[in-house]
Amino acid sequence: MSRPLVPGLVAEGATDEVFLGRVIARQLRALTDFAPRPIEVQSVQYAGCRMTKDDSTIGEAVGELAGDCHLIFLHSDHRERGKADRLATYLADQGLKRPIISLVPVRETEAWLLADPRVWARVPGADPNALHARPREIEKIPDPKAALRAVLAGVAHRKVGEHFAFAGDHVDLDVLAQLPAYATWVGATSDVLRNDGFL
C-alpha cells in the first residue's frame, strides 16, 4: 500500500503557481521514486492567496493548507527574498506542525523556464537560440521576464500561462538541478522528506 504525499504551495503570482505546481509534483515524484515504500505524490494544493499579501493573510492560508498537506512551499522572487524565510520561521514558532520550505530563485521564476532550451525548441515560433548554453548562467540574466518574452516573441498561438504549464511539464529536472537556487530547494525538500519518513 502506498503512502500519500500532499504538497501545498503559496506562490507570488498565477504564472508562478502554474509552473511551480507542475515542477514540484514532478520533483517530488523523482525524489520518492526510490523510497523504501511506495509514495503516491498527490496534486499540489494551492493557497487561497498570493505571497504578495500581508503576513497575517498568508499565515491563515498556510494554516488552511496545513490541514490537508504534508509539506508547504512558500515562493518568493528576489525582491521579496527574505519574506518566505521570515514567514517560515514565524509560522514554525507559532506552532505550525507542517514543514515549510522556502522556494526562492536567484531573481525570478522565469529564469527556471529558460534553463532548458530544448523545451522551447519544441514550440513552433519560439527562439531558443538567445538562451545561454550553460544552465547555471540562466540565473545571471538581469531580467528573466524580458528574456522569456524575447524567446516567445514569434509564438502567437498560446497564452502566457500555457507557456508556463508547458515548461513545467517538460523542463528537464536534471537541467534545473544545475541551478544553485533550485539545487538548494531540492536539498531542503529532501531533508524534510527524510526527516518525515518519506525517504
Residues 122 and 166 in one domain: yes
Residues 47 and 84 in one domain: yes
pLDDT digits (tens, 9 = 90+) for 43-53: 999 998 898 88
Residue 40 has pLDDT above 80, yes or no: yes
Residues 98 and 114 in one domain: no
The structural domain count of the chain equals 2
Residue 158 has pLDDT above 80, yes or no: no
Between 137 and 158, residue with greater pLDDT:
137
Question: Which pLDDT belongs to residue 84?
Answer: 83
Report the percentage of the chain scoring pLDDT > 90: 47
* CA distance linking residue 196 with residue 72, whole number of Å: 13
Over residues 88-92, the mean pLDDT reads 82
Question: Which pLDDT belongs to residue 186?
Answer: 96
DSSP per-residue letters across 62-81: HHHHHTT-SEEEEE--GGGH
Residues 9 and 99 in one domain: yes
Question: Which pLDDT belongs to residue 69?
Answer: 95
Residues 56 and 16 in one domain: yes
CATH label of the domain that carries residue 64: 3.40.50.2300
Residue type, 158: R
The pLDDT-based confidence of 133 (bands split at 50, 70, 90) is low
Domain region containing 11: 3-106+181-195
Question: Which pLDDT belongs to residue 131?
Answer: 77
Residue 90 has pLDDT above 90, yes or no: no
Q: Print the SS3 string covering 127-159.
A: CHHHCCCCHHHHHHCCCHHHHHHHHHCCCCCCC
The pLDDT-based confidence of 41 (bands split at 50, 70, 90) is very high
C-alpha cell of residue 168: 513545467
